[in-house]
Amino acid sequence: MSQVSDVGTGRPVQQEFAGMPPKLYAASPSRLLALVDCPRRYRMQYLDKPRPEARAQRAHTSFGLAVHNALRDWWDLPRDRRTASAGRELVRHSWIDVGFRDADQSLAWRKRAQEHVVDYLGRVDPDDPPRGIERTVSFISGTLRLTGRIDRLDERDRELVVVDYKTSQRPLGEDDARTSLPLALYAAAVWKMFRHPCLRVELHHVPSGEIVSHTHTPESLTRKVDEAKSIAQDARRADADFAERGVESTLFPPVVGPLCTWCDFRAHCPEGQTAGPEKSGWAALEPSEVPRAAEVD
C-alpha cells in the first residue's frame, strides 16, 4: 500500500489495497430518512462544518423526552417501588421546561405527561422486565453498517418484540407499524445480534394507550433492509460529492413544503422560508397542526 499527496493540501493520503472491498457506510435510520425527507436538511445536519445552529428545542420534544425517560427509569426502581404511581415523580424529575409558551403551559403539559405515564404503567407487569431498555442494536448488510437504539425489547412466548414509544398528540394510523423503516431495521438488528427471529414490531402510543403492531415475515424484513441499503448508496454518493465540492454540490436540493415550517435549520435555508411562517415552539401540542411526518418524539 503506497501513499500519494492530496492535490489540495499536500498531505499524504493513504491508498487502499487493490481489490479491497469498499468501506462500510455507517448510518442510523434517522440519518437515512433525513436524506429522503430533504437532502438540504441532511447536509446541514450531518455534513456541514461547522454545523449551522439549529433552532431551540420545541415543546413536544421536551414532552416526549420526559415521557421516554420516565418509562426507562421505572425499570431501575426497586421492585417494591415499581408502581404505576411512581411514574408521576419520574416525569417530574425528567421534565424539561424548554419550548413552551410560558411556565403555565409547561406545568399543564407536565401534569398531562404524568397522567399519561401513570395510566400506561398501570397496564405494565412490573414482574416481567424487558430484555432491553434503550438498547443499542446494529447489523452489517453489504456495505451498510446500521446502528440504532430501541426504546424497549420484550420477550413474549419465546419471541422477541421491538417496542417503540410514541408521544405525539396525533393518534396512530393502522399502517404506521407496518410501513416504519426504523422499526423493521431494529427487528433485523435484534435478529442478527440475538440469533433469534424477531418479526413483531409495536408502536405504543402513550397518551392514548393504543398499541399498533405488525408481524413481519423474513421476506418483508429483507425488503426493508434492501430499501435502507439503497438509501445508503445515495447517501454515500452525496457525502462523497460534498467532500469534493462542499456547498457547491448539486446533490442537496431543498424539498420545499409544509415540513419547512417545522425545520430546525429553516433560518439557513432561503427556499424553506418561502413555505410559510415558522411554527411556534409549542405548535405541535395541537394535533391538528402537525403533519404526520413532522412528529418527532
Q: What is the pLDDT of residues 240-287, one digit of tens each?
A: 999 999 999 999 999 999 999 999 999 999 999 999 999 999 999 986
User: Is position 218 within any domain?
Assistant: yes
Q: Are residues 102 and 138 in the same domain?
A: no
Over the chain, what is the mean pLDDT? Answer: 92
Task: Give the range of the structural domain holding residue 188, as residue numbers without chain letter.
Answer: 132-226
pLDDT band at 170; cut points 50, 70, 90: confident
Q: Is the pLDDT of residue 148 over 80?
A: yes
User: Is position 206 within any domain?
Assistant: yes
pLDDT band at 202; cut points 50, 70, 90: very high
Q: Are residues 83 and 160 in the same domain?
A: no
Total domains, the chain: 2
User: Is position 293 within any domain?
Assistant: no
Q: Are residues 208 and 136 in the same domain?
A: yes
Q: What is the distance between the alpha carbons of residues 110 and 88, in angstroms, rounded to a whole number? A: 9
Residue written as grid cell 402513550: 206
pLDDT band at 16; cut points 50, 70, 90: low
pLDDT band at 8; cut points 50, 70, 90: very low
Say if CB 44 and CB 265 are below 8 A apart.
yes
Residue type, 54: A
Q: Are residues 145 and 193 in the same domain?
A: yes
Q: Are residues 113 and 151 in the same domain?
A: no
Indicate the pTM of the whole model.
0.89
User: Is position 43 within any domain?
Assistant: no
User: Is position 171 within any domain?
Assistant: yes
Q: Are residues 140 and 182 in the same domain?
A: yes
Quote the pLDDT of residue 290.
55
User: Is position 102 within any domain?
Assistant: yes
Across the range 164-180, mean pLDDT stands at 93
User: Is position 239 within any domain?
Assistant: no
DSSP 45: I
User: How many CB atoms sit inside 10 A of residue 156's CB?
Assistant: 9
Residue written as grid cell 424497549: 152
Q: Are residues 91 and 172 in the same domain?
A: no
pLDDT band at 5; cut points 50, 70, 90: very low
Query: Of 101, 121, 141, which one is at a domain's C-terminal end?
Result: 121
Residue written as grid cell 398501570: 122
Q: What is the CATH number of the domain that holds 201?
A: 3.90.320.10
Quote the pLDDT of residue 287.
67
Cα–Cα distances in angstroms (integers) from residue 15 to residues 5, 6, 19, 25, in the given order: 10, 11, 12, 18
Q: What is the distance between the alpha carbons of residues 273 and 37, in angstroms, rounded to a whole number? A: 16
Residue type, 3: Q
pLDDT band at 22; cut points 50, 70, 90: confident
List pLDDT tens digits, range 212-248: 999 999 999 999 999 999 999 999 999 999 999 999 9
Q: What is the distance between the alpha carbons of residues 263 and 38, in angstroms, rounded to a whole number? A: 10
Peptide bond connecting 126 to the previous residue in cis, omega within 30 degrees of 0: no
Q: Are residues 211 and 140 in the same domain?
A: yes
User: How many CB atoms sit inside 10 A of residue 145's CB?
Assistant: 15
CA torsion sign for 269, 272, 274, 277 is negative
List pLDDT tens digits, range 34-82: 999 999 999 999 999 999 999 999 999 999 999 999 999 999 999 999 9
Q: Are residues 143 and 114 in the same domain?
A: no
Say if CB 232 and CB 33 are below 8 A apart.
no
